[in-house]
Amino acid sequence: MSTKTHTPQKTQHTYSYTYHPPSLKGNAPKPTILLLHGFPSTSYDWRHQIPYLSSLGYGIIAPDLLGYGGTSKPSNVTAYKTKSMAAEIISILDAEGVDKVHAVGHDTGCTLLSRLADYFPERLLSCVFLDVPYMSPGVRFDLDTVNKVTRDVLGFERFGYVGFFAREGSGGVLDRFADSFFTLFYPYNPSLWTSHLCPSGAIEEWLLSDHRAPLAPYITEEEFKTHQRLLIGNHASALNWYRALVSNINVEDEEQARITPSLSMPVLLVCPRKSSLEMPGLEEGMRAVCAGDLVVRRVSTEGHWVQLEAREEVNRILGEFFEGVRT
């Protein structure tokens, strides 16, 4: 397994990624799995999946996405259009001579996975969405409306923190109170989000008071330090994903492409067990866009970080799903 870099010619953004070719056990090599992390992460958040999937013989490509880790960190928000980022990921596959992949996304990585499935469906053997579903194209995002809907449905604002993330200077605040932020965003108890992350203004109050929660049981002290080393100083560029969302910079591309929200390849949705944080209709919404097979699995934990919190369950689910996909 090695760390490599690639610079797509059209953008000149340099991507850092972990690459492990498939093993040559048996008559034919197994496919390659593409792992797309979310916020505030890097490819390091796949540390429990990469060794396991590699041990089964699969190839692995796990990039630090744009704005993260060893990858370029442009300040111009237009660089974070999902159409161009999807093309850059495909360029990495081309550089490694990989035609088709099983693609796995978590958090904002699921947004990028959604557009990969829309713009490059012929390159995907399957799609796996961890905790966050397929995001329909051409939908204008309005935070005030989202906050109102979630208040009406859940009884609290579910995505109030997005306004803070998209605000100028928020990355510096996260750098300054990085330990406080980590213990909130990777919580020891997922219910912490209901009062201290989701409502508008809650995260600002948490950070500026420098609150600290206990370290989550699924994070070791060494892992915590590694994460902080990778993210502190880089939060501002990573938050451009949220600025792109609230600026609706992708809507025009998606409308012009006349994308039909339909997933033709096999799809797996892995979620935590149901909690007060889950919007109703999650599974039903996925079934509505899956033209082919959809498999839904729930793990035993309640938190957002299923690949960390329920690593063994997720690994087993992934292995079983990939084995069942015809290639």
Question: What confidence tens digit (pLDDT) does each residue in 77-94 have?
Answer: 999 999 999 999 999 999
Could you give the dihedral angle defined by the CA atoms of residues 115, 118, 119 and 123, in that order, rounded to the nearest 10 degrees? 100
Q: Quote the strand ranges of the chain, DSSP E.
A: 2-6, 15-20, 32-36, 59-63, 101-106, 124-130, 267-271, 294-298
Cα–Cα distance for residue pair 94/91, rounded to 1 Å = 5
Taking CA atoms, 73 is separated from 51, 129, 248, in Å, by 27, 25, 20
- Give the confidence band of 1 by pLDDT, cuts at 50, 70, 90: low
- Give the confidence band of 147 by pLDDT, cuts at 50, 70, 90: very high
- The answer to whether 16 and 63 are in contact (CB under 8 A) is yes
Residue type, 174: L
User: Rounded to 5 degrees, what angle do the CA atoms 252, 257, 259 make?
Assistant: 105
- Give the confidence band of 236 by pLDDT, cuts at 50, 70, 90: very high
To 10 degrees, what angle do helices 240-247 and 108-119 make? 60
Residue 104, helix vs strand vs coil: strand
Cα–Cα distance for residue pair 92/100, rounded to 1 Å = 12
Cα–Cα distance for residue pair 80/239, rounded to 1 Å = 10
Fold of domain 2-140+248-324:
Rossmann fold (3.40.50)
Q: Which two tokens stand for residue 103?
A: 């693609």
The reported pLDDT for the residue numbered 6 is 86
Nearest to 307 by CA among 126, 102, 43: 43
Q: Is the pLDDT of residue 142 over 70?
A: yes
Residue count (the chain):
327
Q: Which two tokens stand for residue 262?
A: 């339909």
Cis status, amide bond into 280, omega within 30 of 0: no
Report the greatest alpha carbon distance in the chain: 59
For 240-263, how does the pLDDT look when each residue is reduced to its tens digit (9 = 90+)?
Answer: 999 999 999 999 999 999 998 999
Percent of the chain with pLDDT over 90: 92
- Find the mean pLDDT for residues 126-155: 96
The CB density around residue 244, as the number of other CB atoms within 10 Å, is 22
Domain segments of the chain: what residues?
2-140+248-324, 143-247
Could you give the dihedral angle defined by the CA atoms of residues 108, 303, 44 and 74, in that order, rounded to the nearest 10 degrees? 30
> Which secondary structure element, helix H or strand E, spans residue 114, and what is its range?
helix 108-119
DSSP sequence for 236-251: HHHTHHHHHHHHTTTH
- The answer to whether 123 and 96 are in contact (CB under 8 A) is no
Q: Is 33 exposed, middle or buried (0-12, 13-18, 19+ CB in 10 A)?
A: buried
- Find the mean pLDDT for residues 300-312: 97
